[in-house]
């Protein structure tokens, strides 16, 4: 069975990617940072984020404040592949996220405003 926790970076790395400008739109996996009934963040698949119905009992809540894009290994790889100088023996989403963060911080990669490619 598919386990998204093995395919997307942890919440801490996704927050860092968001801070660096990683696109927060489109369909895919998102961390719901509002949390479950115990307040624990969890992953959820949202097919169409722009048209996703967001219903929480928080005043003036915006979905952008409660969801953080959780890119898959494949989505991360699109940015990393042109700069790959090492061979990955195994694919680990946290490692890919850390590599992408390094590439962004060192100005090899810039995220486009708006939709992801």
Q: What is the mean pLDDT of residues 35-39?
A: 82
Domain extent listing, the chain:
4-105
pLDDT at 116 over 50: no
CA 22/CA 38 separation, integer angstroms: 28
Model pLDDT, residue 113: 64
Residue 54: how many other CB atoms lie within 10 Å: 15
What is the pLDDT of the chain when averaged over all its residues?
87
Q: What is the mean pLDDT of residues 30-53?
A: 89
pLDDT band at 114 (very low <50, low <70, confident <90, very high): very low
pLDDT at 59 over 70: no
Model pLDDT, residue 58: 56
């Amino acid at each position: 069975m598919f386990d998204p926790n093995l395919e997307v970076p942890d919440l801490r790395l996704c927050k860092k990617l968001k801070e660096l400008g990683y696109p927060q739109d489109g369909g895919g996996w998102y961390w719901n940072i509002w949390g479950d009934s115990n307040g624990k963040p969890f992953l959820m698949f949202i097919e169409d984020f722009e048209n996703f119905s967001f219903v929480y009992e928080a005043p003036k809540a915006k979905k952008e404040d409660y969801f953080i894009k959780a890119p898959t290994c494949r989505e991360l790889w699109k940015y990393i592949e042109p700069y790959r100088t090492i061979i990955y023996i195994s694919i680990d989403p946290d490692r890919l996220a850390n590599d992408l963060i390094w590439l962004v911080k060192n100005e090899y990669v810039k995220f486009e405003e708006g939709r992801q490619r």
